[in-house]
Amino acid sequence: MTKTELENHEGNHSKRKSPTDQKGFILQQLKLFGFVFLIVVLGFGIFGYSVAGWEGAQNAAVWGMVMMAMALPIMGIFILARYWGDFAGRWGSARRGEDKPEHQEEEDLPPFKFD
């Protein structure tokens, strides 16, 4: 590798998200999930209380917890998609040899080369 190729190669890796940035994203998603969890459980509980009193509130709150427990794996998929998507994007660009300067425009090429 020449010196400029090495600098361009290192420049692409400098765009990686730091581990602290990934932690911040995960913590932000968990805080959001906790807030939505609280709102859903309270909403279900209030609805249950208005329909069937205290026992209805307890039952509806449990159903709210069950529904949010079913949503938890979906949130995990979103977090994993962001993490692995970033990795796959870097791996794919390095595999294709896309060490282009930032100012160079992208060409509209078909995804496959027909020979």
Q: Is 2 a residue whose pLDDT tops 60?
A: no
Rounded to an integer, the average pLDDT of 87-91 is 66
Euclidean distance between CA atoms 54 and 70, whole angstroms: 25
Q: Is 53 a residue whose pLDDT tops 50?
A: yes
State both tokens at 49.
Answer: 């209380």
Return the H-helix or E-strand segment holding 41.
helix 19-96
Q: Is 14 a residue whose pLDDT tops 50?
A: no
Euclidean distance between CA atoms 113 and 30, whole angstroms: 43
Higher pLDDT, 115 or 43: 43
pLDDT at 83: 74
pTM of the model: 0.57
Please name which of 18, 36, 23 lies closest in space to residue 74, comparing C-alpha atoms: 36
Rounded to an integer, the average pLDDT of 54-82 is 91
Domain boundaries, the chain: 28-79
